[in-house]
């Protein structure tokens, strides 16, 4: 069959990612000030990659013998209608929801068959069903794995497919990055030059922050691990076939199983391949020995959630966390050995206040990590937090659930408070002499490292 993976996005002047936030998606609209708008534009230019589950589905379809095309809506609805595809597959999200529904309705007017996949449609299938789509619940790659279906088989599917079967991760096909690369080259310029692709070494997260976190909604809370050998085979394959050396690990918590993480690092080190890696993890799972091992394996960038400087605010949001002094110590050590840290903070957690978050901003400056990100607490449909706040939700469109604006009536914040704090957070953090000096040192270090690597590989070839 000829299949189109239709990844629909609204046209915005800031970056929208469907892969982040447990594949519900986020939008990097950092505020209305001149500096915030410039930062939003810079991030849009520097970071771009599709949802990993859609790329994985691509690989499963290819291995079933189908012809697959990927489109991120560079084409108009009129153009899409005129093209000859047997089946359309639409990745879902909260940040592009209304746009996805618009495309879906127009395709159904032409009697096109559309399957909707992903975590958001799994938890919130109603609007997609109303628009005429067929929702595949659960992990969509599991549905398509080893499944050579004819068009007639897809036409017989019910409106909702309860797809909760689970194969071992090692059994799945390699993601179909070759198809994505025909459309565009994914990137994360903060990691290094060249193409960057997302990958995972595990799925599932048992942590208590599922209260507001959406990762467990599709992946579950049971931890499933990919073997180090299978993971390394995947990385080497894309290095050889697509010249990819940059990998973003999209595990909810990369080092949640420390022994598994150590085995991965040792396998990469032993392979002699020189990769540049980004991971997201929890500082609870990092010590100095593991940090050094991660550095040797090629980890250049680590995302960690700090959320708030106030311990009570974190506890009331069911956020497991270390004491602040330990965070400072660990982040300082990571950056000392050459791993850049992106610390992430949340404005407007349930018991937070404007004055309290100003203390969090000051704490962020004290940490002085290589990068900082400030998001707004958002109760997402499908989470326990949403059940608690659903009667005081103030936004009517799901595309407004971007993590950059308040979507419910907060007892201590107003919309304008959030906007002011968001603008202030980025401006006051990045326009500091201490951070500017640090950034210059980072860039100098990267240039020296890049030149060293060029000389090293040239000498190897000789």
Whether residue 458 is contained in a domain is answered as no
**Are 407 and 311 contained in the same domain?**
yes
The span from the CA of 303 to the CA of 294, in Å, is 13
Q: Residue 378: which CATH number?
A: 3.20.20.70
Task: With a cut of 50, list the residues of the chain below it in pLDDT.
Answer: 457-458, 460-462
**Does residue 450 lie within any of the structural domains?**
no
Q: What is the pLDDT of residue 294?
A: 97
pLDDT at 461: 46
Q: What is the pLDDT of residue 451?
A: 62
Q: How many CB atoms lie within 10 A of CB 388?
A: 14
Residue 38's pLDDT is 94
Determine the number of helices (DSSP H) and then strands (DSSP E) in the chain: 19, 18
Query: Strand (E) positions, 257-312?
Result: 276-281, 299-307
Examine residue 103 and state whether it is found in any structural domain, yes or no.
yes
Crossing angle for the helix pair 354-367 and 415-430, nearest 10 degrees?
20
Kindly state whether residues 10 and 121 are assigned to the same domain: yes
In a domain, residue 195? The reply is yes
Q: Is 420 exposed, middle or buried (0-12, 13-18, 19+ CB in 10 A)?
A: middle
Tell whether 263 and 409 lie within a shared domain: yes
Q: How many C-beta atoms lie closer than 10 Å to residue 126's C-beta?
A: 10
- Residues whose CB is less than 8 angstroms from the CB of residue 209 and which lie 6 or more positions away in sequence, other chains included: 317, 318, 319, 320
Q: How many CB atoms lie within 10 A of CB 304?
A: 23
Report yes or no on 293 lying in a domain. Answer: yes
Write out the H or E segment, with its range, that includes residue 27.
strand 26-27
Same domain, 206 and 152: no
235 and 107 both lie in a single domain: no
Contact 124, 381 (CB under 8 A): yes
As a whole number of angstroms, the distance between CA 304 and CA 327 comes to 10
Cα angle, residue 30 at apex, residues 312 and 75 outer, rounded to 5°:
130
CA–CA gap between residue 403 and residue 95 (Å, rounded) = 9
Contact call for residues 306 and 326 (beta carbons, < 8 A): no
pLDDT at 222: 81
Same domain (yes/no): 141, 253: no
pLDDT score of 200: 94
Q: What is the biggest distance separating any 2 CA atoms in the chain, rounded to whole angstroms?
A: 68
Q: CA end-to-end span of the chain, whole Å?
A: 47
Which DSSP category does 171 fall into? G
Q: What is the pLDDT of residue 252?
A: 87
* pLDDT in the model for residue 445: 76
Q: How far apart are CA 232 and CA 263, in angstroms?
A: 11
> In which domain, by residue range, is 112 found?
2-161
pLDDT at position 460 is: 47
**CA–CA gap between residue 364 and residue 361 (Å, rounded):** 5
Looking at the domain assignment, is residue 461 inside a domain? no
Whose CA is closest to 193, among 399, 457, 455, 449?
A: 449
Q: How many angstroms separate the CA atoms of 232 and 330, rounded?
A: 28
What tokens does 325 get? Answer: 């002094």
Do 410 and 333 belong to one domain?
Answer: yes
User: What is the pLDDT at residue 459?
Assistant: 53
Q: Round to whole Å and give the CA distance between 3 and 449.
A: 43
285 and 353 co-located in one domain: yes
List the beta bridge partners of residue 249: 199
With vertex at residue 10, the alpha carbon angle to CA 92 and CA 374, rounded to the nearest 5 degrees, is: 80
Specify whether the CB–CB gap between 8 and 96 falls below 8 A: yes
Q: Say how far apart CA 251 and CA 376 lie, in whole Å.
A: 22
Q: Number of structural domains, the chain?
A: 2
Distance of CA 146 to the CA centre of its chain: 27
418 and 272 within one domain: yes
Contact present, 70 and 5 (Cβ < 8 Å): yes
**Residue indicated by tokens 């940059």:** 246
Q: What is the per-residue pLDDT for 452?
A: 58
Residue 172 domain flag = no
Residue matched to tokens 């009667």: 391
- Shared domain check, 270 and 352: yes
Q: State whether residue 206 is helix, strand or coil.
A: coil
The domain that holds 132 is classified in CATH as 3.40.50.280
Please tell me the predicted confidence (pLDDT) of residue 164: 65
CB burial of 351-361 (b: ≥16 within 10 Å; e: otherwise) equals ebbeebbeebb
Residue 438 lies in a domain: no
Q: How many CB atoms lie within 10 A of CB 156?
A: 8
**245 and 97 both lie in a single domain:** no
Do 397 and 298 lie in one domain? The reply is yes
Instruction: Tell me what pLDDT residue 453 has.
Output: 58
pLDDT at residue number 146: 77
Q: Tokens at residue 379, please?
A: 């109760």
Q: Are 351 and 315 in contact (CB under 8 A)?
A: no
Torsion (CA) 395, 99, 385, 301 in degrees, nearest 10: -120
């Amino acid at each position: 069959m000829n299949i189109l993976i239709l990844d629909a996005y609204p046209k915005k002047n800031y970056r929208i990612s469907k892969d982040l936030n447990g594949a519900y998606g986020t939008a990097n609209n950092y505020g209305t000030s001149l500096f915030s708008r410039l930062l939003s534009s810079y991030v849009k230019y520097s970071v771009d990659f599709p949802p990993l589950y859609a790329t994985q589905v691509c690989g499963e379809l290819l291995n079933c013998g189908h012809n697959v095309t990927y489109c991120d809506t560079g084409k108009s609805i009129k153009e899409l209608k005129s093209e000859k595809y047997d089946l359309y597959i639409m990745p879902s999200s909260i940040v592009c929801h209304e746009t996805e529904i618009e495309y879906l309705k127009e395709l159904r007017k032409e009697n096109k068959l559309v399957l909707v996949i992903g975590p958001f449609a799994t938890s919130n299938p109603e609007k997609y069903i109303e628009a005429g789509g067929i929702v595949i619940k659960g992990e969509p790659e599991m549905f398509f794995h080893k499944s050579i279906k004819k068009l007639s088989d897809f036409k017989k599917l019910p409106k909702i497919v309860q797809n909760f079967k689970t194969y071992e991760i090692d059994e799945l096909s390699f993601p179909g990055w070759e198809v994505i690369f025909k459309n565009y080259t994914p990137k994360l310029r903060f990691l290094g030059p060249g193409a960057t692709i997302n990958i995972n070494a595990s799925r599932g997260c048992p942590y208590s922050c599922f209260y507001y976190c959406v990762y467990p909604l599709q992946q579950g809370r049971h931890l499933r691990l990919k073997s180090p050998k299978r993971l390394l085979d995947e990385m080497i394959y894309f290095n050889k076939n697509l010249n990819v050396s940059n990998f973003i690990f999209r595990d909810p918590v990369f080092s949640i199983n420390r022994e598994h993480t150590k085995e991965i690092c040792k396998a990469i080190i032993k392979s002699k391949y020189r990769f540049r890696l980004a991971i997201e993890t929890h500082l609870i799972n990092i010590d100095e020995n593991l940090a050094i091992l991660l550095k040797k394996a090629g980890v250049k960038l680590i995302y960690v959630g700090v959320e708030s400087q106030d311990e009570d605010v974190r506890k009331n949001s069911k956020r497991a966390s270390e004491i602040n002094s330990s965070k400072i110590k660990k982040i300082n050590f990571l950056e000392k050995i050459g791993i850049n840290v992106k610390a992430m903070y949340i404005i407007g957690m349930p018991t937070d206040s404007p004055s309290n978050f100003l203390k969090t901003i000051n704490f962020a400056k004290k940490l002085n990590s290589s990068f900082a990100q400030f998001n707004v607490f958002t109760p997402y449909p499908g989470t326990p937090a949403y059940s608690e706040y659903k009667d005081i939700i103030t936004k009517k469109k799901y595309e407004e659930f971007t993590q950059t604006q308040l979507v419910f009536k907060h007892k201590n914040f107003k919309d304008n408070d959030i906007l002011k704090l968001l603008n202030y957070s980025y401006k006051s953090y990045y326009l500091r002499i201490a951070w500017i000096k640090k950034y210059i040192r980072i860039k100098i270090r990267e240039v020296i490292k890049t030149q060293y690597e060029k000389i090293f590989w040239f000498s190897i070839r000789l």
